[in-house]
């Protein structure tokens, strides 16, 4: 979900990645949704919300902060979320109007057919144009979110049924989106035609569950049924589940960065275990960019599975040379460079007991601005390491994401601005190696990247954007275009 001003790529705000969850068919829809959101906390820590429906009324509670801070099982707010159906959302946001309660999803409104609630993970690339035309013709927006555009499109549709109104709305939006909605005693899930963002279906007794990742099914004791297909809409009600395919089929382009960094390692997405994918990437990295070293040290937590894979493949011992303080959010939460630098220090500390005198291979999942690597390399040196060889379990990030992952503008992406030799000097490493794009595809079990029709969305590494961007965006992106 992304906030927009008049043009989503002209504003100065950072945008959001998110988690969504929905359940139909249990009187504990509220507790299950809170648990599901808790398992998906890594996808968004800024705010959380739940909307439930009891057959007659909608109930809503939304708040800033983590799920646990807002949804205590015994709290009055939780008790008030009555009903057999609920949806929830975790919001990831890094700056801008992050404190506005109006921005917190799910959104719920009274439309002509009754109540409608919606939560969104992704990013609409035609949001600016749609919003401008809706405002022009009288829509009053409560938030700066692109998700609200979908609510207005549903409200204004002239189709007869709620489902046809929703189909009418989603056919007008472009970009990456996974949605969960409640309307007319139905839980509805939608995945965009390219299937960029994940959405899985599970079953808990007689109840159906929709979630961004399978780790949210595990926590509520639901069994995994399947991933929603790209372009699929599922409609769940008291009679069971119905599937529709309202879009023209498109090439399947699931986000490869979900495997590299974003998803939780214990999730299984599109048939691939995230943990296993990360270990395979580390093993492939060891083949492509070997290092003569004594110790493999992960940058915790995101670098751990890749470092294990690197250590196994290279037969270099693995050890924990960096200790992470867990009581601080992800580094990107700080909007300014000064703030980010401080939070890296607050988050990691080198352990001299393991690294002193050693030639260390440091493994992290990605380099974005270079802030983390710079800090960690110097920490490891200060702790007495003899050499520091940085290895990165993704190709150089050279392009912003417009489909729901938070990345900075191109001018802040270190790999878009500097050569690998320059980055090596900049971060102070003895050597630096990235996995190649084909190596990444091999680690994902493919023989190579299919250049004509890539198996994943890898635009952050290749600039090959599968979904049309707003006109003029490519040139803007290079200078100051906004991203995510």
Q: Could you list the active site residues?
A: 18
Length of the chain (residues): 484
User: Is residue 434 part of the contact set for ligand AMP (CB under 6 A)?
Assistant: no
Residue 268 or residue 344: which is nearer to ligand AMP going by CB? Answer: 344
With contact defined as beta carbons under 8 Å apart, do 290 and 316 qualify? no
User: Is residue 191 part of the contact set for ligand AMP (CB under 6 A)?
Assistant: no
User: Is residue 367 part of the contact set for ligand AMP (CB under 6 A)?
Assistant: yes
Out of 33, 126, 371, 483, the residue judged to bind ligand AMP by CB under 6 A: 371
User: Is residue 185 part of the contact set for ligand AMP (CB under 6 A)?
Assistant: no
Q: Read off the tokens for 95.
A: 């700056």
User: Is residue 299 part of the contact set for ligand AMP (CB under 6 A)?
Assistant: yes
User: Is residue 15 part of the contact set for ligand AMP (CB under 6 A)?
Assistant: no
User: Is residue 365 part of the contact set for ligand AMP (CB under 6 A)?
Assistant: yes
Instruction: For residues 376 and 351, give the distance between their C-alpha atoms in angstroms, rounded to a whole number.
Output: 11
Instruction: Provide, rounded to whole angstroms, the least separation between the CB of residue 361 and ligand AMP.
Output: 16
Instruction: For residues 76 and 66, give the distance between their C-alpha atoms in angstroms, rounded to a whole number.
Output: 17
User: Is residue 324 part of the contact set for ligand AMP (CB under 6 A)?
Assistant: no
Out of 261, 318, 402, 434, the residue judged to bind ligand AMP by CB under 6 A: 261
- Pairing type for strands 387-392 and 359-364 reads parallel
Tell me, rounded to whole angstroms, the distance of Cα 281 from its chain centroid.
Answer: 19
Taking CA atoms, 60 is separated from 70, 88, 108, 165, 190, in Å, by 12, 10, 8, 23, 21
User: Is residue 343 part of the contact set for ligand AMP (CB under 6 A)?
Assistant: no
Question: Within positions 399 to 418, which residues make up the interface with ligand AMP, using CB under 6 A?
Answer: 405-407
- Candidates 360-368, 382-390, 450-458, 464-472 — which segment interacts with ligand AMP by CB under 6 A? 360-368
- Candidates 3-11, 142-150, 274-282, 363-371 — which segment interacts with ligand AMP by CB under 6 A? 363-371
User: Is residue 203 part of the contact set for ligand AMP (CB under 6 A)?
Assistant: no
Out of 43, 191, 369, 410, the residue judged to bind ligand AMP by CB under 6 A: 369
User: Is residue 370 part of the contact set for ligand AMP (CB under 6 A)?
Assistant: yes
User: Is residue 372 part of the contact set for ligand AMP (CB under 6 A)?
Assistant: yes
User: Is residue 364 part of the contact set for ligand AMP (CB under 6 A)?
Assistant: yes
- Candidates 55-63, 116-124, 327-335, 381-389 — which segment interacts with ligand AMP by CB under 6 A? 327-335
- Candidates 1-9, 131-139, 160-168, 324-332 — which segment interacts with ligand AMP by CB under 6 A? 324-332
User: Is residue 482 part of the contact set for ligand AMP (CB under 6 A)?
Assistant: no
Note the residues at the interface with ligand AMP (CB under 6 A).
261, 299, 302, 330-332, 364-373, 405-407
């Amino acid at each position: 979900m992304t906030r927009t001003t008049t043009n989503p790529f002209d504003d100065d705000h950072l945008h959001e990645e998110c988690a969504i969850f929905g359940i139909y068919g249990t009187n504990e829809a509220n507790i299950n949704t809170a648990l599901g959101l808790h398992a998906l906390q890594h996808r968004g820590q800024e705010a959380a919300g739940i909307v439930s429906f009891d057959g007659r009324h909608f109930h809503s509670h939304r708040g800033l902060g983590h799920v646990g801070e807002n949804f205590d099982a015994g709290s009055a707010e939780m008790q008030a979320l009555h009903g057999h159906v609920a949806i929830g959302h975790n919001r990831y946001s890094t700056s801008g109007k992050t404190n506005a309660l109006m921005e917190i999803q799910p959104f719920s409104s009274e439309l002509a057919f009754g109540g409608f609630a919606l939560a969104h993970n992704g990013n609409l690339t035609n949001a600016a144009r749609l919003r401008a035309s809706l405002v022009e013709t009288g829509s009053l927006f409560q938030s700066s979110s692109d998700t609200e555009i979908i609510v207005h499109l549903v409200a204004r549709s002239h189709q007869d049924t709620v489902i046809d109104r929703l189909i009418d709305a989603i056919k007008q939006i472009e970009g990456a989106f996974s949605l969960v909605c409640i309307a007319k005693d139905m839980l509805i899930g939608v995945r965009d035609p390219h299937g960029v963002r994940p959405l899985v279906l599970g079953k808990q007794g007689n109840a159906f569950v929709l979630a961004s990742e399978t780790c949210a099914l595990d926590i509520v004791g639901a069994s995994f049924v399947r991933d929603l297909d790209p372009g699929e809409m599922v409609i769940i009600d008291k009679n069971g589940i119905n599937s529709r395919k309202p879009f023209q089929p498109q090439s399947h382009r699931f986000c490869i960065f979900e495997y590299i960094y974003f998803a939780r390692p214990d999730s299984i997405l599109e048939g691939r275990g995230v943990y296993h994918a990360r270990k395979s990437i580390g093993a492939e990295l060891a083949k492509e960019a070997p290092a003569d070293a004594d110790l493999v040290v992960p940058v915790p937590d995101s670098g751990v599975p890749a470092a294990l894979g690197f250590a196994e493949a290279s037969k270099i011992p693995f050890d924990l040379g960096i200790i992470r303080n867990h009581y601080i959010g992800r580094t990107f939460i700080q909007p300014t460079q000064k703030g980010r630098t401080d939070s890296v220090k607050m988050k990691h500390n080198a352990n001299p007991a393991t690294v002193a005198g050693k030639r260390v291979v440091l493994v992290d999942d990605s380099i974005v601005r270079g802030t983390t690597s710079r800090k960690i390399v110097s920490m490891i040196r200060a702790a007495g390491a003899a050499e520091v060889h940085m290895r990165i379990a993704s190709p150089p990030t050279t392009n912003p994401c417009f489909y729901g992952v938070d990345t900075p503008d191109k001018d802040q992406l270190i790999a878009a601005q500097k050569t690998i030799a320059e980055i090596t000097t900049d971060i102070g490493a003895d050597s630096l190696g990235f996995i190649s794009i084909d190596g990444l595809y091999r680690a994902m079990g493919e023989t190579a990247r299919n250049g004509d029709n890539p198996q994943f969305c890898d635009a952050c590494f290749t600039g090959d954007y599968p979904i049309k961007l707003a006109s003029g965006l490519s040139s803007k992106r290079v200078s100051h275009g906004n991203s995510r």
